């Protein structure tokens, strides 16, 4: 059994989050695992009940899904009991293997493509929380591109 953990509200799921979740569920199923998603309260610090629940459900692996707002989850569980990977930069801790888009490189690539098309006044409109979840990769890339 695998479990995805997020503090993202169930009613609000951006397209990226939905696609990530669908892919994780599909990959788990194809490899013979069950997959469930548990939503934790934003800012939750103590996970004794959560630890017991995961153990009783036979969860062996935990995927740390995108968090809203970005969250430090290091003290939430005894992570040594699970195989853990993060699928987002918005997980500030624990330090685990991570698979996430490289927002800085992708934004620089986009700026280069726009410049090649003749655009000269390239701007960025983004929600501050979204940029924070990406560790400021979007805004940093635009600033770096603008200097050159």
Q: Which two structure tokens, joined as six digits, stand for 148? A: 């050159």
Three-class secondary structure of residue 7 per DSSP = coil
Position 46 scores a pLDDT of: 67
pLDDT of residue 12: 75
The pLDDT value recorded for residue 130 is 83
Q: Which residue has the tokens 């990406």?
A: 134
Between β-strands 71-72 and 83-86, what pairing exists: parallel, antiparallel or unpaired? unpaired
Q: Which two tokens stand for residue 1?
A: 């059994």
| Residue 13 scores a pLDDT above 90 | no
CA atoms within 13 A on the CB side of 114: 15
Write the pLDDT tens digit of every residue in 25-84: 999 999 999 999 999 886 666 688 899 999 999 999 999 999 888 889 999 999 999 999
Torsion, CA 7, CA 9, CA 12, CA 16, rounded to 10: 20
Residues 6+ apart with CB under 8 A from 118: none
What does the pLDDT look like over 89-133, one tens digit per residue?
889 999 999 998 899 999 999 999 999 999 999 999 998 888 888
Q: Would you state the pLDDT for residue 45?
A: 65
As a whole number of angstroms, the longest Cα–Cα distance in the chain is 59
What angle is formed at CA 11 by the lines to CA 17 and CA 87, rounded to 5 degrees? 20
Q: Which residue, chain included where needed, has tokens 């993060």? A: 86
Contacts of 137 (CB under 8 A, 6+ apart): 89, 102, 103, 104, 107, 131
pTM comes to 0.80
Q: For residue range 34-49, what is the model confidence (pLDDT) as tens digits?
A: 999 999 886 666 688 8
């Amino acid at each position: 059994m695998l479990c995805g953990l997020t503090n993202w509200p169930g009613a609000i799921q951006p397209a990226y989050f939905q696609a990530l979740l669908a892919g994780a569920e599909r990959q788990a199923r194809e490899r013979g695992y069950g997959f469930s998603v548990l939503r934790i309260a934003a800012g939750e610090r103590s996970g004794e009940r959560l630890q017991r629940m995961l153990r009783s459900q036979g969860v062996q692996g935990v995927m740390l899904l995108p968090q809203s707002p970005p969250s430090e989850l290091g003290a939430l569980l005894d992570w040594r009991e699970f195989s853990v990977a993060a699928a987002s930069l918005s997980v500030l801790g624990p330090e685990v293997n991570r698979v996430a888009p490289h927002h800085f490189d992708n934004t620089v690539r986009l700026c280069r493509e726009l410049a090649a098309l003749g655009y000269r006044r390239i701007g960025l409109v983004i929600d501050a929380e979204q940029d924070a979840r990406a560790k400021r990769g979007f805004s940093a890339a635009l600033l770096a591109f603008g200097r050159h």
